[in-house]
Structure 1
Amino acid sequence: MLRRSLLRMANDPRVRSRVESAPGTDELVSRFVAGRTAPEVVAVADDLTSKGLQVTFDRLGENATDEDEAAECTQGYLDLLALVAQEPWADQVDVSVKLSAVGLQLGRAGEQLAHDFTRRICEAAAGIGATVTVDMEDHTTTDATLAVVERLRQDFPSTGAVLQAYLRRTESDCRALATEESRVRLCKGAYSEPAGVALQSRHEIDLSYARCLRVLMEGPGHPMIATHDPRLVEIGVALARKLGRDPGSFEFQMLFGVRPIEQRRLVDIGHQCRVYLPYGTDWYGYFTRRVAEKPATVSLFARQLIGRR
């Protein structure tokens, strides 16, 4: 119940205003957001890559309200990639793009607009040897998102897709996407979804994640195991060992600020681990979902909300 309440808060403008102005919020947000500007997040990435980790950048912001806003988000990614191009680790980078931020929900032309803007990002990423992963949002966008990914892969076959294990359709989607060259990030899911389309209990979601992960690991693509759950991490390690997968043929992914010691451990034992680096000023929706996923932060969040130090 608490998790669902927090997820609903992500779309409540009154709560958003109160949270953004609460004392100490900046300090709490900085635990999960890697910087406000592109230079700040690139500096964080430089530190992480020096420790053997890889990174994916996420420019925060969702639901562009007009084409100018979508174009601004796109330009933000292009500016970021221009900075990254100067770094020795540029060809190891991934960028994560939410299609709603680049126009997906702008009426009938939204899907085409999102495709065109994301294509520009793919072109810039390919120019420095980097990759793009298209993030998944709530279930109403799943079909459109996968359609855009399919089109982008015609010219940029390394374009990644994200699937959410709590959706009832996901095991089938995994089977469809577990193909040669395919990059698929499997996560549990972080939106408030109805029971008709999404599993509700943690146990059911964990079982679905394990089934979906097996499908991806048995396929010829590049699975991206996005979880902080120790049991699921070990299932990933065990599957890789059983299937004889080369360490470069899959990777683990974890969020900035969550289990950093585990991130280093995975690298130390020979696995690839990529850190998801959100940055920017439009942090509220992302931050609220992270609080909902991590119960230990709820009390901190509540104290900030009511102004207690």
Structure 2
Amino acid sequence: MLRSICLFLSKNKMLTKFAQAYGLRFGAGRFVAGETLTEAVKTVKRLNQNGLSASIDYLGEYAGSEKDARRTAEECKKAIRAIADHQLDCELSLKLTSIGLDISEKLAEQHVRDILTEAKERRVPVTIDMEDYSRCGRTLDLYKRCKPDFPMLGTVIQAYLYRAAEDISSLMPYKPRLRLVKGAYKESAAVAFPDKKGTDLHFQQLIKLQLLSGHETAVATHDDDIISYTKTLVSDHQIPRGQFEFQMLYGIRTERQKELAEEGYRMRVYVPYGTDWYGYLMRRIAERPANAAFVLKGIFKK
């Protein structure tokens, strides 16, 4: 019930504006690095010093105009330059709706290619995030068009979607660099597993499919069972540690992140920043209701 409510509220425009007006006061500071790129860079530097890689994401979805899409694209290029200039162990994560996918696929692809050109020159990896089911096909189609020109480009596959294994198979000719996740949007049972058990079993199948293909794989999870499964799989098949990594969200299971890094695994932390953090925060609560306690503390803290 809480998950459904949070996912519904994540799309409420009035609450989004309210949250932006009051900044990160409402507990979001635990999960968001700050509102500026400067704050995000400081966070990534600290993570790198602790042996953790990072992926920064300029928060924002559903650009309402070409001007908004262009502004986000410019911020992404600015972030790439900062990653290179500060020699950070960091990639950029990118949402297509924030750079105009819902306005025009042509516009979004133009912005993607501009961003990727900057990234290629500065040798900064970029991963295209996956959003809800309605945008899945268009996202993968754009990825396929851009990947041959930008080898360091990655994208995301969501395990709760029935189509995920077929999508991975269709990407094999492109030698895909994939981030595998469970999925955080509310989807119909017609297109997605409605239960955790089904999603987890599918997640394991996808991890095996991608890892045994020999392609770069990021297993993005906070679930110890999925982590253990991955460790056993790579050990049994002697998969080199340079081929895969674990990923977790900033502010969640920070001690576990350090443990994995100390065990010799590459551990990457997803670091969001920006003023448009409300929808992101609601999805984090939906994924793990215990996160709501941190938000409530922020609301009532003097």
TM-score in terms of structure 2 length: 0.94
Secondary structure at the counterpart of residue 197 of structure 1: coil
Amino acid aligned to 2:202: S
Gaps of 5+ in 2: none
1:186 aligns to 2:180 (yes or no)? yes
- Give the counterpart of 1:197 among 168, 187, 191: 191
Structure 2 equivalent of residue 101 of structure 1: 98
Q: What amino acid is aligned across from residue 215 of structure 1 in structure 2? A: L
The alignment of Structure 1 onto Structure 2 pairs a total of residues equal to: 302
Give per-residue Cα distances to partners, 1:70-111, cap 9 Å, x unaligned: 00001001112222222233xx421010000000000xxx11
- Residue number in structure 2 paired with 1:152: 146
Name the aligned partner's letter for residue 101 of structure 2.
L
For 1:73-88, what aligned pairs fall within 5 Å after superposition?
73-88=72-87
Residue 215 of structure 1 corresponds to 209
In the other structure, the counterpart of 2:225 is 231
Query: Which residue in the other structure is 2:33 paired with?
Result: 34
User: Counterpart of 2:148 in 1: which secondary structure?
Assistant: coil
26 and 302 in structure 1: CA distance in 2 versus 1, 3 angstrom threshold: closer
Query: Secondary structure of 1:153's partner?
Result: helix
1:113-192 equivalences in 2 (<5 Å): 113-178=107-172, 181-192=175-186
Q: Summarize the alignment of residues 43-58 of structure 1 with structure 2, pairs less than 5 Å apart.
A: 43-58=42-57
Distance (Å, rounded) in 2 between the aligned partners of 1:56 and 1:256: 10
**Structure 1 residues 267-286: aligned runs within 5 Å:** 267-286=261-280
Higher RCO, 1 vs 2 (CA within 8 Å, ≥6 residues apart): 2
SS at 1:81 equivalent: helix
Question: Does the 8 Å contact 1:58/1:95 carry over to 2?
Answer: yes
Aligned match of 2:287: 293
Asked if 2 retains the 8 angstrom alpha-carbon contact of 1:180 and 1:221, the reply is no
- Contact residue 158 and residue 182 of structure 1 kept, 8 A: no
**Contact 1:180-1:220 within 8 A present in 2 as well:** no
Letter in 1 for 2:98: A
Which residue identity lines up with residue 94 of structure 2 in the other structure? V
> Which ranges in structure 1 are unaligned for 5 or more consecutive residues?
none
Q: Is the 1:162–1:187 Cα contact (8 Å) retained in structure 2?
A: yes
1:64 equivalent to 2:63? Answer yes
Which segment drifts farther, 262-271 or 280-289? 262-271
Distance in 1, matches of 2:57 and 2:227, equals: 23
Distance in 1 between the 2:222 and 2:44 partners?
20
* Alignment CA distance shift 1:136-1:180 (3 Å): closer
What's the Cα RMSD here?
Answer: 1.9
Q: Taking every aligned residue pair, what percent have the same amino acid on both sides? A: 34
